Amino acid sequence: MPRLTKIYTQTGDRGKTGLVAGKRVSKDSPRIWAAGTVDELNSAIGLARAWKPDRQTAAILPQIQNDLFNLGAELATLPANFKVGMPRIEPHQIIVLEKLIDELNATLGPLEEFILPGGTVAAAQLHVARTVCRRAERLCVRLARREKIGDCVVPYLNRLGDALFVLARWTNYKANKSEVAWHKPAVSRRRGSGRTGSTKR
């Protein structure tokens, strides 16, 4: 059975969209901002996959995308409308991310300096996904102050942001690409009166 028989419906022309179970809400509501940003995150990860990272990264990203699709569906469902079997984020999905982070970090080792996003195109795109993930997390935190959301939504996004950072490093590592280090600006020290800025002429 096809899930979509028609792409446009014209039902959103007045600035409202439908949640699961049919309730109409404004397209700029906190819940839609959160769900839409999770969708944006999923697309950013899809682009990282398209750049063909290493085999291990390529294997884990589809599952993360599937989790994010479920998370988006969870955000689009009001708590009162949840039924048994509907997709939602569970604690074991957070544990999977924590195990992934620990496994990759055991090989990568601790960071001795801050790094800038970059390296291979796939790694740079994973950094982009990381920043979108942090925005999705912030929006879900804001939503949770106003409305009820699943207990695992924010922790999952928090761990995913960490995982995407580690996966970006891992992708560069597997490609033998050096990280781009952040260089702390040198502090200029002047002798004399201690004034800063331009000198008198």
CB 51 within 8 A of CB 168: no
Cα separation, 166 vs 172, in Å, equals: 10
User: Would you state the pLDDT for residue 183?
Assistant: 83
User: Would you state the pLDDT for residue 81?
Assistant: 82
Domain ranges (residues) in the chain: 23-79+87-108+116-181
Strand partners, 116: 180
User: Would you state the pLDDT for residue 77?
Assistant: 86
23-79+87-108+116-181 belongs to which homologous superfamily? Answer: Cobalamin adenosyltransferase-like (1.20.1200.10)
Average pLDDT, rounded, for the chain:
86
Look at residue 64 and tell me whether its pLDDT is greater than 70: yes
Look at residue 23 and tell me whether its pLDDT is greater than 80: no
Is residue 91 very low, low, confident or very high in pLDDT (cuts 50, 70, 90)? very high
Cα separation, 12 vs 49, in Å, equals: 31
pLDDT, tens digit, 9 for 90 and up, residues 135-155: 999 999 999 999 999 999 999
In DSSP notation, 47-100 reads: HHHHT---HHHHHHHHHHHHHHHHHHHHHTS-GGG--TT-----HHHHHHHHHH
Look at residue 19 and tell me whether its pLDDT is greater than 70: no
Instruction: State pTM to two decimals.
Output: 0.83
27-31, 35-39, 53-57, range with the lowest pLDDT: 27-31
The residue that leads in pLDDT, 148 or 180, is 148
User: Would you state the pLDDT for residue 200?
Assistant: 43
User: Would you state the pLDDT for residue 85?
Assistant: 85
Mean pLDDT of 51-76: 95
Mean pLDDT of 72-81: 86
The residue that leads in pLDDT, 165 or 186, is 165
pLDDT, tens digit, 9 for 90 and up, residues 150-175: 999 999 999 999 999 999 999 999 99
Mean pLDDT of 178-196: 69
User: Would you state the pLDDT for residue 196?
Assistant: 46
